[in-house]
Amino acid sequence: MTDLIPPYGGTLKDLRLDDTTAQARRTAAADYPSWDLTDRQLCDLELLANGGFSPLEGFMGQADYEGVVNDMRLADGTLWPMPVTLDVSEAFAETLGAGARVALRDPEGVILAILTVDDIWRPDREHEAEQVFGTRDAAHPAVYWLREHSHPVYVGGRVEALDLPGHYDFTHLRLTPAELRERFRRDGWRRVVAFQTRNPMHRAHVELTFLAARQAEANLLIHPVVGMTKPGDVDHYSRVRCYEHVLHKYPEQTTALSLLPLAMRMGGPREAVWHAIIRRNYGCTHLIVGRDHAGPGKDSNGEELYGPYDAQDMVTRHADELGIQMVPFRMMVYVQERAGYAPIDEVDEATETVMNISGTEFRRRMREGLEIPDWFGYPEVVEELRKTYPPRARQGFTLFFTGLSGSGKSTIANAVMVKLMERGGRPVTLLDGDRVRKHLSSELGFSKAHRDLNIRRIGFVASEITRNGGAAICAPIAPYAATRDAVREMVESANGGFLEIHVATPLEECERRDRKGLYAQARAGRITGFTGIDDPYEVPESPALRIDTTDCSVEEAAQQVLLKIEAMGFIDLE
């Protein structure tokens, strides 16, 4: 009997120290500078530590980084498609030098690893975006992350892992590469086809994986990503419950479920190659590569960022080096006359009726509480998703009013709040700009950084209200588009609706009102950095609603908002 497929590079690079050495390092690290890892860095560290990123032995140094960005090669020539870097702030980087040791900690301060610094450099992140993701368009989530979330300095060096990040969820399914390989060895699995997914599985996915496993004459590993995926994706808790239901649809002893703590970049072709390397490290011999595999969708012009078969083509070109076989995705469709699924290229559409529900249509039906046919989704899976994504009328939402001082946004927000409370049926919270400043952000000034922080605090509170089914009504000035987008991301990640409402009252009218005398003080130079006078207001490009209160009463404006909420399905005005 043949052995398991060897890890990529020949050796599984498990970076964890033995208990005695780890304790000694933990004691010594009390004097090291500490870096609190971001969510993405935590995912990367876990796969470095457990060998999922073999042959890497730490966060990339500059030579490896530049080779990967420009040529998909590490400095020694090894094929590797995706940068794995530790980004830090300028202030923190200034405390480091070559040979320094850094304690890497989780958000609660628990030390997980020690990094010995080899390189410190400032990357060209725009160049990285262009080379790695093929675009500088911020509609790509990884490009947006590089611009808005990543720190400006990269630190590279070898990692010694003291422990893996702690997880309290689905611990029986969180198998490391070594543990999964041992399971394959124990069960006699030598040919294993991995199914990469970040979405719930429906009947078509089950039929697809059945077919792929039969074609490869292999066992099946359902290996979903439970680290970071595309913003707006179904949360991994709901997805894993769905996968556990689906697992029972396969014959016993043929299929396994294990979770992958990967922070996806949605990098399309390069990401598909990365997924192949990672699955080989986990002991898989085959990988199903889907149509537009790991694709992020459309750019800001509405064009697809990657071609539908670009990922399959890139994996095919590098198949010999990867050492793992690709099983191309075959679209499965339900054929009415057969009362079952078949590959679309084996269907005679002239004589057979193909039935399908698009992702958009499925979401619409879920949003509106409509029936999902059994031929499309397993009832137990649909029921799990309904728990997380109830019809819109039972979802939380955030109304985010933005506009110049004196535009009328607080007045409208108060009127809408009263109308919603009058209706009842949902908790309503008003997060007015002045009140938040007094009770939540009293220590902040009015610099751009402090104004951004204030808005992000509002966004965080709104997202928690939304997550729990309430209505959050926010009424800050919020002059910067990037910060408003960050709030939208927080709220939508909490499975709620976000409605940006631009109170577009002209500056002249706002100055004429000037109830607080702020414009007069700004014109006189007694207040600086005042929005609309000597600091810009970035007008929303496509808000859910735009209201000019110059010739509009408060009651009329509030009614426009209520009608918009009703039209979007969040309330019923009857």
The active-site residue out of 38, 135, 176, 197 is 197
CA distance 36 to 104: 6
Structure tokens at 500: 């940006």
Structure tokens at 343: 């590959």
The active-site residue out of 199, 388, 429, 550 is 199
Is the Cβ–Cβ distance between 180 and 283 less than 8 Å? yes
Neighbours of 268 (CB within 10 A): 25
Q: What is the CA radius of gyration of the chain?
A: 26
Question: Strand 192-195 to strand 219-222: parallel, antiparallel, or no bridges (unpaired)?
Answer: parallel
Is the Cβ–Cβ distance between 287 and 324 less than 8 Å? yes
Is the Cβ–Cβ distance between 118 and 158 less than 8 Å? yes
Is the Cβ–Cβ distance between 157 and 115 less than 8 Å? yes
Phi, psi of 97 (to 5 degrees): -150, 170
Distance of CA 171 to CAs 165, 260, 558, Å? 12, 12, 49
The terminus-to-terminus CA distance of the chain in angstroms comes to 70
3-state secondary structure of 332: strand
Is residue 197 part of the annotated active site? The answer reads yes
By CB atoms closer than 10 A (0-12, 13-18, 19+), residue 288 is buried
Q: Is the dihedral of CA 474, 478, 480, 483 positive or negative?
A: negative
Distance of CA 108 to CAs 36, 85, 183, 301, Å? 8, 22, 32, 41
Cα dihedral 34→36→41→46 (10° resolution): 80
User: Angle 409-423/554-567 helices, nearest 10 degrees?
Assistant: 60
Is the Cβ–Cβ distance between 86 and 115 less than 8 Å? yes
CA distance 56 to 302: 37
Give the DSSP H or E segment for 497: strand 497-503
The active-site residue out of 198, 279, 365, 484 is 198
Looking at residue 31, its amino acid is D
Is the Cβ–Cβ distance between 103 and 29 less than 8 Å? yes
Give the DSSP H or E segment for 161: strand 153-161
Q: Is the dihedral of CA 125, 128, 133, 134 positive or negative?
A: positive
Q: Where are the beta strands (DSSP E) in 364-519?
A: 397-402, 428-432, 471-475, 497-503
Is residue 550 part of the annotated active site? The answer reads no
Cα dihedral 104→110→113→114 (10° resolution): 60
Is residue 356 part of the annotated active site? The answer reads no
Neighbours of 525 (CB within 10 A): 9
Q: What's the order of all strands across the beta sheet hosting 397-402? A: 428-432, 471-475, 397-402, 497-503, 545-547
Structure tokens at 115: 């990094």
Is the Cβ–Cβ distance between 102 and 115 less than 8 Å? yes
User: Which residues carry out catalysis?
Assistant: 197-199
